[in-house]
Amino acid sequence: MVVKHIPACFFIFEADQLKFEDGIKLDFDDVLIRPKTSTLSSRSGVDIQKVYDYLHAPVKEAVVPIVAANMDTVGTMAMSEQLSLNGMLTCLHKYYSVDELVNFFAEAPRLDTFYTLGIKQEDVEKLIDVDDELPRLDEGGLGIHKICIDVANGYQKVFVDHVKRIRNLFPDTIIMAGNVCTPEMVSELLISGEADIVKIGIGPGSVCTTRMVTGCGYPQLSAIIECADAAHGLGGHICADGGCRMPGDVAKAFAAGADFVMLGGMLAGTDECDGTWEEESEILKNDKGGYTVSGKRVKKSLRFYGMSSEEAMDAHNGGVGTYRTSEGKSESVAYKGPVMDVIQKVTGGLRSACAYVGASSLKDFPRCATFVRTNRVHY
């Protein structure tokens, strides 16, 4: 970069030395969805289930495309059990033992559950060990139907090669891989890696500090719009991962073209989560209008942290390596009750958003939705 000094303390930067992308990039807080005239009489008639064909896996299925994130507090077997009853998906975290995973996948058909692994050889060996212990998929639908290959940085060639290796091992399984945030890498993972779904998001998560630590990332709404365009042109799908703090953000992600939306922080603190709970004494209202402290202990808050945080790496990797730093933080999340209480708010908001723009189904929502830019003070 060349900087020339001129009078009055101005600076001129040689434009040909700078690397800027053209166009403004937007996040969820930068936009609202513009209401439109609608012929719908009620939001109750909005269909939020979608039918999916996949680019590589020979599968056609109908699901409600909300996905619980593969965090060790959120991506639990209890979460999977509950969400699957409502046609929704869960990415199990990768820290269950082989025996736990075999028992879970052999117990009943887990059509709505992703087995999650990373990029290490030991992750592949563990997946093979679990699969070897399971019945074949044609024996009552048992076994692993979906795989999520999860890394923080999906831009390395070794990751694309890794995804292709898993595809070769499991040619008929639905494979989701990420994370990335730009169209060219979506295309690479879909074509060269042979993924079916690409996870989109670098740094937007509520307990992710990648943007602060590395300066790298991409505004999530623009990432979804641009990556969806790339994926859909090839017959692939994307899953928006991170940045959704409230139901309106989920609606914006779908309106922008996301095929699936993954939730972590929004589901943290529900009964189906694992982890360290802080408890408090139950307080009951008595007949005289006052309050009594009972001897029962009830949940108050859950310890919640990013999977690249110091707390997570201490728990699963023996600490933070000397060659790196943590890219996540820890916080306490207030107890929220059963996960379906949260899900009802999410799906209710999604149905209302569709009704506001005249979309009778989630499938039609992106076609009907128009964004307007705001000054980021609309909540």
In a domain, 312, yes or no: no
Please confirm, yes or no, whether 347 is among the known catalytic residues. no
In a domain, 130, yes or no: yes
Annotate 74-111 with b (16+ C-beta within 10 A) or e (fewer). Answer: bbbbebbbbbbeebbbbbbbbebeeeebbebbeeeebe
In a domain, 2, yes or no: no
In a domain, 205, yes or no: yes
In a domain, 22, yes or no: no
Please confirm, yes or no, whether 239 is among the known catalytic residues. no
Q: What is the pLDDT of residues 320-375, one digit of tens each?
A: 787 778 777 788 889 999 999 999 999 999 999 999 999 999 999 999 999 999 98
- Evaluate if residue 293 carries a pLDDT over 90: no
Q: Which of 238, 62, 70 is nearest to 151 (CA)?
A: 70
In angstroms, the CA 198 to CA 218 distance is 15
In a domain, 21, yes or no: no
Catalytic annotation, pick one of 76, 116, 182, 210:
210
Q: What is the pLDDT of residues 95-136, one digit of tens each?
A: 999 999 999 999 988 999 999 999 999 999 999 999 999 876
In a domain, 293, yes or no: no
Catalytic annotation, pick one of 148, 181, 208, 354:
208
In a domain, 120, yes or no: yes
Domain containing residue 259: CATH number: 3.20.20.70
Q: What is the pLDDT of residues 195-225, one digit of tens each?
A: 999 999 998 988 888 888 888 999 999 999 9
- Evaluate if residue 282 carries a pLDDT over 90: no
In angstroms, the CA 29 to CA 297 distance is 38
Helix 157-169 vs helix 121-133: crossing angle, to nearest 10: 10
Q: So what's the pLDDT on residue 102?
A: 95
Domain that holds residue 123: 28-273+336-373
What is the number of structural domains in the chain?
1
